[in-house]
Amino acid sequence: MSPVHSLIEYLQQLARSGERYIRLDEEAKEILRERIRKGKRSVKAGPRHPPVPKAVDIDPGNSQQTEAPPPKLKAEGESAIEKLASLRKQAETWEPALALSSLRDTMVFATGNPEAELMLVGEAPGYEEERRGQPFVGKAGQKLDQILMAMGFSRENVYISNICKFRPALKNQTTNNRKPTPLEMQACLPFVRAEIEIVRPKCIVALGGTAAEGLLNYENQPVGRMREQWHEFEGIPLRVTYHPSYLLHNDSAVTEKRKVWEDMLSVMEFLEMPISQKQRAFFAEK
């Protein structure tokens, strides 16, 4: 087995046993990025999906096989709805993600308005999302619905997506979930890019540090340091806030709710939405 294959197999083992982070030097990271770029099938990607035929070099003077080119996304159709449906279809069998063997098989795409001004990007589907085939429909999703409602939105007039389109796998997994790894996010990133190109939202909110790191290519940045400022992804202004599940775990902490709310007030101001005095005062100290 080549050193590259050994490294990939070792990382897959770690991911399957629930490990979320690992320190890699720059060279190892570049090797892995290159593999993702090439969409190359790993040695362990066995029977879950039919094998992808490799491109064969037909030069008779050279009998060596060449690598299959990375799969290309093609959003077919006229309208945004048709283009997103075309992406969704391709996501179902997206080889760079499935070849990692650390993600489950069921693809969960996005939901909402294909012409939304606001796009929200979470990390990955969990148990409930996988079961129902929709992003943010579990407890964190209910919290997100409350936040959207307080802003004057509903799920139907924003666009809600995840940076990773498959539920990250764990050993003996039941209802437990884990965050996607940088590799898993990178494998699905072409979809988020394509979705943004189709929806063209006026701004994006990254829900939580994992999604923000995946989108912005940051490493180990706490949300506290990324929020309160505008970033940019694919030329679109992006704001970072805490993941709704953070508020579930800190439900009594009004200060944390206020921080998320201040992030959302910035988004509302940016979108030039009307903001009432009552809205401005949500979760503020009396």
Is the Cβ of residue 129 or residue 213 nearer to ligand URA in the bound state? 129
Nearest alpha carbon to residue 219 among 262, 186, 178, 176: 186
Question: Does residue 205 touch ligand URA according to CB under 6 A?
Answer: no
Restricted to residues 221-280, the positions that interact with ligand URA (CB under 6 A) are: none
CB of 25 vs ligand URA, minimal distance in Å: 29
CB of 248 vs ligand URA, minimal distance in Å: 10
Restricted to residues 144-183, the positions that interact with ligand URA (CB under 6 A) are: 162
How far is it, in rounded angstroms, from Cα 282 to Cα 141?
A: 20
- Select the residue whose beta carbon is closest to ligand URA and give its number: 122
How far is it, in rounded angstroms, from Cα 15 to Cα 26?
A: 20
How far is it, in rounded angstroms, from Cα 129 to Cα 152?
A: 24
How far is it, in rounded angstroms, from Cα 260 to Cα 244?
A: 9
Sequence letter at residue 83: K
CB of 142 vs ligand URA, minimal distance in Å: 11
Question: Does residue 191 touch ligand URA according to CB under 6 A?
Answer: no
Residues 6+ apart with CB under 8 A from 13: none
Site map 98..137 versus ligand URA, x via CB under 6 A: ------------------------xxxxx--x-----xx-
The encoded tokens of residue 207 equal 């829900």
Residues near ligand URA, by CB under 6 A: 122-126, 129, 135-136, 138, 140-141, 162
